[in-house]
Amino acid sequence: MTPLLEVDGLHAHYEKSHILHGVSMKVGQGEIVSLLGRNGSGRSTTLKAIMGLVRPTGGRVILEGKNVAGERAFRIARSGIAYVPEEREIFANVTVAENMRIGRQPAREGAASWTMDQMYAFFPQLKDRQNTAAGMLSGGEQQMLTMCRSLLGNPRVILIDEPTEGLAPKMVDVVTAMIREICNQGVSVLLVEQKLTIAMRVSKRVYVMGHGQIKFEGTPDALRNAPDVRRNWLEVN
Which residue range(s) make up the domain with 145? Answer: 5-233
User: pLDDT tens digit string along 83-129?
Assistant: 999 888 899 999 999 999 999 998 888 778 899 999 999 889 999 99
Q: Are 152 and 103 in contact (CB under 8 A)?
A: yes
The pTM of this model reads: 0.94
Q: Helices (H), strands (E): how many in the chain?
A: 10, 10
pLDDT of residue 213: 98
Q: Are 185 and 37 in contact (CB under 8 A)?
A: no
Report residue 31's pLDDT band, with 50, 70 and 90 as the boundaries.
very high
Total number of domains constituting the chain: 1
Q: Are 157 and 62 in contact (CB under 8 A)?
A: no
Q: Are 229 and 223 in contact (CB under 8 A)?
A: yes
pLDDT of residue 1: 63
Report residue 235's pLDDT band, with 50, 70 and 90 as the boundaries.
confident
Q: Are 86 and 44 in contact (CB under 8 A)?
A: yes
User: pLDDT tens digit string along 12-26?
Assistant: 999 999 999 999 999
CATH number of the domain enclosing 116:
3.40.50.300
21 by Cβ neighbours in 10 Å (0-12 / 13-18 / 19+) ranks as: middle
What is the average pLDDT score of the chain? 93
Q: Nearest Cα to 51, choosing from 77, 79, 21?
A: 77
